[in-house]
Structure 1
Amino acid sequence: MVAAILLSALAMSVIVGVRYLLASGGFALATRIRQPGLYRGLEKQMGREIGWSLASALIYGAPAGVVAWGWQERGWTRIYSDVRDFPLWWLPLSVLLYLAAHDTWFYWTHRWMHRPKLFRIAHAVHHASRPPTAWAAMSFHPWEALTGAVVIPALVFLIPIHVGALGCVLTIMTIMGVSNHMGWEMFPRWMVRGPMGGWLITATHHQRHHDQYNCNYGLYFRVWDRLCGTDKGLGDFKKVGA
């Protein structure tokens, strides 16, 4: 049993690492096409980002692998595969609940990581990316990676979710994590500057966090930033326009 769990954890770490390389690599390629020269001179930084991110992939994969084994072999979780087990309206609602719960956890742990001592110990690794690139999405110190690695594995024990809906959550998490760091805005101006952008976090919003450090802590939504007075609005890009 122990060997099977370890194998599952290793396999999931490989999957997370490959997902990171494909997603970040894809957005880095899009950056080269859409914003040529944006990452010029950042080769060493990007190398560090990739190294830290692959280390984070090992940490993210370990609990995910244990949970995957428990789901398949012991039925430990509340993941279900038959869409008829819950009403169809639960599919989008479960995705929203997972995103809201993850966003809440991320906001408060991220803000906690900005306390001076914790920042020096862990979060400074992420902010060493100046400016961040598409490769920086998982560039975390191991202590910070641990805080992010436990969220989704914990939620699957609490909130029922279809395996396809869980895949949707992970896809959104990956896209938002990468696109928010790539140094330019892929979403149209009408969305970013309009009512929708007033509640959703995009690269333009997260850029201000990397510029000022003490604001814009959220991951998906601006709700907690607005409630807690830490929303400083949209940032800008020094090399290219938003």
Structure 2
Amino acid sequence: MDGVLDWAWRLDVGQVVGFALLENMGLFLIAVGVGNAMLRLPTVVRLLPDPGRISRLQLWLASGAILMNSLVTVAGWALWKAGIIHLNADLGLRALADFVLLLLLMDLLMYAGHAVAHRPRLFPLAHALHHRFVDAQPATLYALHPLEILGFGGLWLAALAAHTFSVWAIVAYTAVNLVFGIFGHLGVEVLPPAARRSPVFRWVATPTLHAGHHVEPSVNLGFYTSIWDRLFGTLAADYDERRRSTEPEPYALPVTG
């Protein structure tokens, strides 16, 4: 990993931009590919109606999200070069501790940012766009307003600047973030009932958590855990019942128009 850091340090801006675009296009393709594969599993329980083919608007928003996420990546590299973000190549228990810290820190920051984005005066400015897609599908993960992407990107860069993280922890967090993003935008529950009933998934977010948020935006604001929803009273009243159910009842979509 030290060699990779040395290589990244020697890149010029143009090379970093190219790498960032390739990385984020790759992550988008992985999200859509893995998400669609998960939808074909015979064990999934559908929570939201099948939205059918991806809309043109979602494709445009996804393209914009790839560009904006690439911008955040380049900004992170620039902050690292400027000595504001510090990285190390530690492995083992140090990297594991960094990963847990980064996951919990981002979970808290993203919960707080999500709650702010749902404030009545702010919601129409950006986050309302994401909530147009109630019946989520894999690409919905990328159907975000540019301001929202920059906001969450700013939280990510602030977290990295707050502590010297292991690069391995950052790679692991990126993978976990993608997995939770995919599972939260499938419109189905993919975890078996035995897993969802376990004490672990009382705290770790299930796909049901975010599916419920798309239906009722005032609840289930968490991303990776339900800790902050439970602590601040924003967990849907029926979430634990749905989580433990062998076949969770599909959500009723809100009436519009």
Give yes or no for TM over 0.5.
Answer: yes
Match of 1:98 in 2: 102
**Cα offset, 1:95, TM superposition:** 0.5
* Cα distance per residue 1:129-182 (max 9 Å; x no partner): 121111111211111111111233222222222212210000000110111110
Match of 2:255 in 1: none
Q: 1:75 to 1:115 in 2, by over 3 A?
A: closer
Match of 1:217 in 2: 221
**Cα offset, 1:6, TM superposition:** 5.1
Match of 1:150 in 2: 154
* d(CA) in 2 for partners of 1:197, 1:40: 25
Is 1:63 matched with 2:67? no
* Cα distance per residue 1:26-55 (max 9 Å; x no partner): 21133135469987553253x432321221
Contact 2:45 2:189 in 1 (8 A): no
**Cα offset, 1:20, TM superposition:** 1.3
Contact 1:59 1:145 in 2 (8 A): yes
Q: 1:163 to 1:12 in 2, by over 3 A?
A: same
Given candidates 27, 35, 42, the residue that maps to 2:52 is 42
Question: Residue 33 of structure 2 aligns to which amino acid in structure 1?
Answer: G
Given candidates 214, 238, 241, the residue that maps to 2:250 is 238
Match of 1:22 in 2: 30
Identity %: 23
Match of 2:120 in 1: 116
Q: 1:237 to 1:57 in 2, by over 3 A?
A: farther
Question: Residue 201 of structure 1 aligns to which amino acid in structure 2?
Answer: A
Match of 1:194 in 2: 198
* d(CA) in 2 for partners of 1:50, 1:176: 21
Q: 1:149 to 1:110 in 2, by over 3 A?
A: same
Given candidates 32, 35, 38, the residue that maps to 2:40 is 32
Match of 2:4 in 1: none
| SS, match of residue 116 in structure 1 | coil
Contact 2:185 2:210 in 1 (8 A): yes
Contact 1:60 1:148 in 2 (8 A): no
Of 147-156 and 118-127, deviating more is 147-156
* d(CA) in 2 for partners of 1:60, 1:126: 16
* d(CA) in 2 for partners of 1:39, 1:114: 24
* Cα distance per residue 1:176-197 (max 9 Å; x no partner): 0111110112222122222111
Given candidates 164, 175, 181, the residue that maps to 1:177 is 181
CA RMSD across the alignment: 2.6
Is 1:163 matched with 2:167? yes
Q: 1:44 to 1:57 in 2, by over 3 A?
A: closer
Task: Extract unaligned runs of 5+ from structure 2.
Answer: 1-10, 243-247, 252-257
**Cα offset, 1:10, TM superposition:** 4.5
